[in-house]
A and B are shown apart, each in its own frame.
Chain A
């Protein structure tokens, strides 16, 4: 926090270069979780040396069962997200663009939105059983709310000056929708999609864990209950990597779509 700068000879008190720090930290963490179990600092039944879990992960990459599980998780994820998008985005755009409709439905949305989707797990089991359908239902339900609200706010936040300008140039309502409203709303929808993607993944893994649908969540639980701790950790790590990858895709897409938006401009570039 100190702003006192030293003589122009540069920061001579630096011991380690900045770029090295993350590598060192990761190495230290790995070393800790590998040696501590071996020395007995951590109970080995609960914390197998991390090198063993990593080795297990690598070997899993060659197992068909692993990729099947990944595939099942991804299948649920994309179906849930897709259904939520197909229903939620148009509905959100519609409701957002009509003041009366918004006021009428606002109460319903505000009450239904905070319902934790996990509360519907038993209902899903009843209606859809314990397979992919349950998973998709839950993921879609949860993601739907993210997207309908994001689209709704996106439409409402359109700069009225922009729409007035369009109207003064003789643009009809349909053209205004496509030329002004949608482009304005897209950044919000992009952010909503990123969050909805994460939500969908979470619900899929939840369904796999709690209901037992095929997928990574179930495999992780089976590994644990089967006493195969290395496999459990390996699969948890794999799920983390999956989460990272999916998130990275959406962050990248969001950046592309948002590049013109004021929030993306460097500080100080605002009027």
Chain B
């Protein structure tokens, strides 16, 4: 791209999102439509609601549930994934069960969770943990299987113990693949947090958004949607940053292998 065009590109990159926002603000400014209040009103409601009044009552519980569910999914998923990745026979045995469970659309499992556990926090943590388990589990298995045999043989030649090999060879080598599974699980966790709160909760961001709609508090509803959008964006971005840091060696190794 020529230098002139490059400046145009950078300019557009910055300007277009701002323009879109401005457009929305202008178009909605004189809005009489009930469902689409002026953007300025949404912003002010956002500030009133989420900075910082409802943070403790709704944001914290939501994020805590999500975090707890993800933590369980990671622990179980990586642990089971290591075990299954190392044992072809166990993999063969459990494969049809795992493949079937993973094909069930996650929301279909929500009534099951409500039935068995109830409508409290533990139910939400449970369903998030259960659903987020599968991408991590399957990717861990793939990661373990895909460990370069030369790496393993090197460790064996130098007499590294089985446990040491697992911790210091297999696990690090599988980490890129595990992160790929984690990325999917983080998105799933957010989705399940929202719907579990919409269906059976008395607090949380998801609950707030739906309740606002029911109570026809439209600007509040929009502020909640905006918050969820920001949350989605922040989680995505934060995860990408962490991944970049942790997997720096992987990108370097791949780049040099391709050259």
A interface residues with partner B (beta carbon < 8 Å): 1, 3, 18, 21-22, 24-26, 29, 46-47, 99-100, 103-108, 110-112, 114-123, 125-127, 198, 201-202, 205-206, 209-210, 216-217, 220-221, 223-224, 229, 232-233, 235-236, 239-241, 243-244, 247
CA distance A217 to B109 in the complex (A): 9
Q: Is the CB of B108 within 8 A of A229?
A: no
Among B114, B190, B191, B224, chain A packs the most CB atoms within 10 A around the CB of B191
Residues of A within 8 A of B14 (CB): 107
User: Of B100, B105, B112, B233, which contacts A202 at CB under 8 A?
Assistant: B105
Chain A positions within 8 Å of B162 at CB level: 1
| Chain A contacts for B110, CB-based, 8 A | 209, 221
The chain B residue sitting closest to A204, CB to CB, is B105
Stretch at the interface among B4-12, B43-51, B67-75: B4-12
**Subset of 14 A-B contacts with CB under 8 Å:** A22-B94, A22-B96, A104-B9, A104-B13, A111-B17, A116-B229, A118-B195, A122-B221, A123-B213, A126-B213, A206-B195, A209-B199, A221-B111, A240-B104
B20 within 8 A of A: yes
Besides A126-B35, A232-B115, 19 other CB < 8 A contacts? A24-B93, A100-B8, A110-B233, A114-B232, A116-B187, A116-B194, A116-B228, A116-B229, A118-B206, A119-B224, A119-B228, A122-B213, A126-B213, A202-B105, A217-B108, A233-B112, A236-B104, A240-B101, A244-B103
Q: Are B12 and A104 neighbours in the complex by a CB distance under 8 Å?
A: yes
The DSSP consensus for interface residues of chain B is: helix
Cβ of A123 and Cβ of B111 under 8 Å apart?
no
Report yes or no: A99 in contact with B104, Cβ–Cβ below 8 A. Answer: no
* Contact across chains for B105 and A115 when beta carbons are under 8 A apart: no
For A106, the chain B residues whose CB sits under 8 A away are 13
- The residue that A223 contacts in the complex, of B93, B111, B165, with Cβ under 8 A, is B111
Specify which chain A residues have a CB less than 8 angstroms from the CB of B225 in the assembled complex: 115, 119-120, 122-123
Q: A-B pairs with the 6 shortest C-beta distances? A: A122-B213, A104-B12, A119-B228, A114-B232, A240-B104, A103-B9
B92 at the interface (CB under 8 A from A): yes
Q: Is the CB of A243 within 8 A of B86?
A: no
Q: Could you say which of A26, A118, A220 contacts B111, with CB atoms under 8 Å apart?
A: A220
Q: Which residues of A contact B5 (CB under 8 A)?
A: 99-100
Q: What's the least CB distance linking A43 to chain B, in Å? A: 8
Assess the B209–A239 pair: CB atoms within 8 A.
Answer: no
Interface of A is mostly: helix
How distant is B188 from chain A, measured CB to nearest CB, in Å? Answer: 9
A114 and B236 form a contact (CB under 8 A): yes
| A21 B115 Cβ-Cβ under 8 A | no
A127 to B97, CA, bound (A): 40
| Least Cβ–Cβ distance between B237 and chain A, in angstroms | 8
Say if the beta carbon of B212 comes within 8 Å of chain A. yes
Q: Smallest CB-CB separation from B114: which chain A residue?
A: A224
Q: Is the CB of B103 within 8 A of A240?
A: yes
In the assembled complex, which residues on chain B have CB atoms less than 8 Å from the CB atom of A119? 194, 209, 224-225, 228-229, 232
**In the docked arrangement, what's the CA distance between A209 and B114, Å?**
12
A125, B214: Cα distance in complex, Å: 9
Find out whether the CB atom of B89 lies under 8 angstroms from the CB atom of A21. Answer: yes
Q: Which of B1-28 contact A (CB under 8 A)?
A: 1, 5, 8-10, 12-14, 16-17, 20
Q: Are A107 and B16 in contact, with the CB atoms below 8 A? A: yes
Distance between A126 CB and nearest chain B CB, rounded to angstroms: 5
Residues of B near A232 (CB, < 8 A) are 111-112, 115
Q: Is B152 an interface residue (CB 8 A)?
A: yes
Query: What 1/0 flags go to B214-244 for Cβ under 8 Å of A?
Result: 0000100100110011001101100000000
- Known: A119-B194, A202-B106. Is A18-B89 also a contact (CB below 8 A)? yes
Chain B min CB distance to A239 (Å): 4
- Chain A nearest CB from B45 CB (Å) reads 14
B252 to chain A, nearest CB (A): 21
In the bound complex, what is the Cα–Cα distance between A127 and B92 (angstroms)? 48
Given A22-B96, A122-B225, A206-B195; A243-B115 close (CB under 8 Å): no
The answer, yes or no, to whether B120 is at the interface (CB within 8 Å) is: no
Closest to B18 in A: A107
B183 CB, nearest partner CB in chain A, Å: 11
Measured CA separation A232–B112 after assembly (Å): 8
**CA A202 to CA B187, docked complex, whole Å:** 13
A195 to chain B, nearest CB (A): 10
Q: How many angstroms from the CA of A210 to the CA of B201 in the assembled complex?
A: 12
Residues of chain A with a CB closer than 8 A to B13's CB: 103-104, 106-107
